[in-house]
Chain A
Amino acid sequence: MFNNILKYIIIIFFFLCNTILLAQDCSISIQGRVVDEVSQLPLSYVNVYLQETSQGAATDNDGRFFFKNVCVGHYHIIFSHIGCEDSKLHIDLERDTVINVDLDHSDHSLGTVVIQGPKDNVSIQPNLSVNRKKIEDSSNQNLAGLIENEAGVHLIKNGSGISKPVVQGLFGNRLTILNNGIAQSGQQWGNDHSPEIDPFAADNITILKGASALEYNGGNLGSVILVEPKRITREPHLHGQVNYSYESNGRGNNANFRLEKYSRKIAWRINGTLRKYGDRKTTNYYLNNTGLQEANFSIQLEKEWNEKIFVDLYASSFNSRLGVLRGSHIALPEEIEQAFTLLEPFYTEPNFSYGVDAPKQHVSHQLIKLKAKYYQNETSVLEFIIAGQLNDRKEFDIRRSGRSDIPALSLKQYTVNVDLTYAKILGDNWNFKIGNQCIVTDNTNNPTGILPLIPDYLSWENGIFATISKKINVVQFKSGIRYDFERQEALTITNTLPKEILRYKNNFQNISGLLAWEVDILDHQSISIYSGLSMRNPEVNELYSNGVHQGVSGIEEGDVNLESEIALKNILEYKWLPSPSFSLSTLAYHQRFKDYIFLNPQDEIRPTIRGSFPVFKYEQTDASIYGVDFSSQFTISNLIIGQVKYSYLRGDDTKNDVPLIYMPPSSVFGSLTYRTLNPINLSSKITLDEFEIELNNRMVFEQIHILAEQDFIAPPAGYNLVGLKVSTNMLTPSYKVRLFVKADNLLNAQYRDYLNRQRYFADDVGISITMGINFKF
């Protein structure tokens, strides 16, 4: 459904006293009951706040709340509960009113199956999501950082500013990120590229850990990250929020505002974010030139015609400049070995600076999307999307003769998406969905005076899919198939003399399929089995890369003869949600690859005028990735809630019987949260609620499943990071303020992370304190 936070099943039962209603009647009561959306069990200790009168209440053991002596008028009621996003309800109060509320309390960290409303068809996928509250409380994080602690999710980083997510061992070309329903373009290749998305523009970030994500394009192999704003609340008043946070490490400032208003004519929302960071600091020294500047803006317009047609226009602009640690910009392998032995990286200075100099990246990403939905009747809906993206990436190196101002890599990528999907509920409750998705990508290098690492190319992808699903008593079933056709035209420049342009034309065809069952075995227990086949054709970087990639300290060469890789993934998931106070989920997966494309170190060490570089070639092998994601949430007493998330993963090259490189090591995250149960009334006007103290711990083990010859230096030791967070809401009749203070790496541990490429040169960041304020009206 559109409003995924709250569904108001029944609003307004009324009871008229035998007296005539007077305008000044102040004897009205509001009562209601809050239940968990999924289990329909009552939720106790939900804070219910009547904003206009600043009355606060908490639900009892049966989920009930009660306000009496309320006057006639307009009211906003806020429901808040630990782990849930706040929900706000607007009512015109005229008489005694009963409100029944379904709060989406399904523990988001728990890979729960989300079944979308009938109009949007049934989607069965193991997934987990991050809500708006967490986004606001993590205003110092980028998109990838927000989901780092979730089970099965890891980050590949290049320093503190650049990070991209890894889901169940899949990243880069194998993981699709959908921003507002559109496959994010331009960020697939290169581990030193962050997804260019402002998380503040989103309300929900969902990670699908499926076996095959048929409805989504982009060559994913089952895992997809969805970044979505919610629909504009149907509320006639102007509402908005301002977020500000300051982070001590990097002296970072994050500011964000959001305004929205609904009217029958048009609903609108605008969102803007500014961020500025300077040099980060490890336990012992500054990481010079690791600053960051970001300015983002988005606008969302929604319009509904006669309840049949819904149109939504979304435009966003993301602009960032970020520095890369100067001391990590070393090319030769022996220099890496030397750098590793240093106490502090080369070029380390004793002073902090906000400056961003070469090596640096200037990246901007523009998106415009128009979506139209036509509700033909109760059982069928047609959706059309057209979107355009422009990704402009410039990377600057240290160059001779003042050329540091000329980018060493300058790519401009235009993408156009056209999607058409049709969903229908057939007879006997079969849900059917069919769609066609098309993407045209045009990638061009601007002159830099350097041979491009990625060639100019034009690609055209067209995919069609059909899925069918049904729920029969305790069993949910889903199946589907997808066919993709991709045509690539790439223009490479040879590096032999005389230089020539080679024109390559490729056609690829991929087929994917899925079978999924979810069975409720006992009360509140379910077992799901997913089995999916997916294919991914080689991308342009895998086919045609050519040259020294500063990011990997080696010469990277593509192979024009690569073929599509095929992956078969099987997932077994067990979930147990006996009550709102306890939940547990275990997910085991195994993905087998035929012709897995990877960058293989060669025996060759190639002498060049800049020294001798190891050569890496894109090759294919057979591989297997398997692992377990576990998470559980439990209430120790009413006052303390605990959470545990664990990920284990192992990747092997099964043909050569060696480990896969760059696989995340095991990690475990645990937290204990103390909360107050009832709102604290500071005065007649000011109430504090949701006062929480969270103590958390993230432990990452050493990656031992790797051979010494597979890397320049051995993987770093495991590490343990302790965090502490104190947060509360302050409510007054006209606005709501949320305050938080948190400390990351509280013990200032000195550590390096296996998946952070900066580990060859420098430690990871030390202690950091963030203070944030969120003001809502």
Chain B
Amino acid sequence: MKINYFLFLALPLLLTSCDKDDPVIPNEEELITTVNYTLTSSDGQDVVLLSFVDLDGDGENQPTIMGGTLSANTVYTGSIELLNEAESPAEDITEEVQEEDDEHQFFFQSTISELVVSYTDQDGDGNPVGLNTSITTGAPDSGNLTVTLRHEPVKDAAGVSAGDITNAQGETDIEVTFPIDVQ
């Protein structure tokens, strides 16, 4: 009986004698690390790049945020580029949003007086997407511009197609804030 007992004890030891294999590092295709919002003045002279880069996702390292200075009383054309720079070469997420434009919408909220962002693109249903926008500045001021991307928003809810996020619902894929000076 005693011999059997020790045999049973040894059985699990055998199971644990080998090391566990390395896990596969996932290919995080969906990760968005970078938001580039390029503003070009209507005369093409002034190009401002607002960018938010966070290569480690939810990790401890702080993101790099680059704001910008805009000219007062000017109209800019805005275009958003989304990248996954954790992959090499960097992956263009903008295409994914474009392909599913009916399921995505950007929202722009600013604390700057007289700064107005309006949509210049639309999805197949005629609702705005926000990859392409037009920004009009007014009197000099400074503040923040928050850009939000919602996945599966309810685009026909009240105010949503006009850019009001209140009733939009959906998941937040992006929510970044840029400091802006209007001079």
Contact = CB atoms under 8 A, between A and B. Distances in A.
B173 A400 contact: yes
A499 interface: yes
Contact of A456 (B1, B23, B100, B152): B23
Interface stretch (A288-296, A487-495, A658-666): A487-495
B173 A610 contact: yes
B63 A609 contact: yes
A607 B179 CA distance: 14
A447 interface: yes
A330 B153 CA distance: 12
Contacts of A418: 8, 11-12
Interface centre among A455, A491, A610 (most CB of B within 10 A): A610
B57 A445 contact: no
A486 to B, nearest CB: 11
Given A450-B28, A607-B62, A609-B32, A331 B171 contact: yes
A497 B25 CA distance: 12
Given A420-B8, A449-B28, A496-B56, A610 B174 contact: yes
Nearest to A495: B59
A309 to B, nearest CB: 14
Contacts of A331: 171-172
Interface string B16-60: 100110111111111011010000000000000000101111111
A168 B24 CA distance: 40
Nearest to B33: A609
B12 A416 contact: yes
B12 A613 contact: no
A481 B54 CA distance: 52
A420 B3 CA distance: 13
Nearest to B12: A438
B175 interface: yes
Given A400-B100, A438-B12, A611-B172, A451 B26 contact: yes
A403 B30 contact: yes
Interface in B75-91: 86
A547 B174 CA distance: 16
Given A398-B152, A440-B16, A493 B172 contact: no
Contacts of A327: 169
B92 to A, nearest CB: 12
B36 to A, nearest CB: 12
A93 interface: no
Given A438-B9, A499-B25, A607-B63, A399 B30 contact: yes
B99 interface: yes
B164 interface: no
Given A332-B175, A496-B56, A460 B16 contact: yes
Contacts of A440: 12, 15-16
A451 B27 CA distance: 9
A555 B61 CA distance: 13
A439 B15 CA distance: 10
B151 interface: yes
B169 A347 contact: yes
Interface in A330-371: 330-332, 335, 346-347
A585 interface: no
A418 B11 CA distance: 8
B26 A610 contact: no
A53 B54 CA distance: 80
Contacts of B86: 497, 499
B176 interface: yes
A156 interface: no
15 contacts: A331-B172, A382-B1, A400-B103, A418-B11, A418-B12, A420-B9, A439-B12, A456-B20, A487-B16, A493-B23, A497-B56, A609-B35, A609-B57, A609-B63, A613-B58
Interface of A: 327, 329-332, 335, 346-347, 382, 384, 398-401, 403, 416, 418, 420, 436, 438-440, 442, 444-445, 447-452, 455-458, 460, 462, 487, 489, 491, 493-497, 499, 501, 546-548, 555, 606-613
Given A400-B103, A438-B9, 5 more contacts: A398-B152, A447-B24, A497-B86, A501-B22, A609-B174
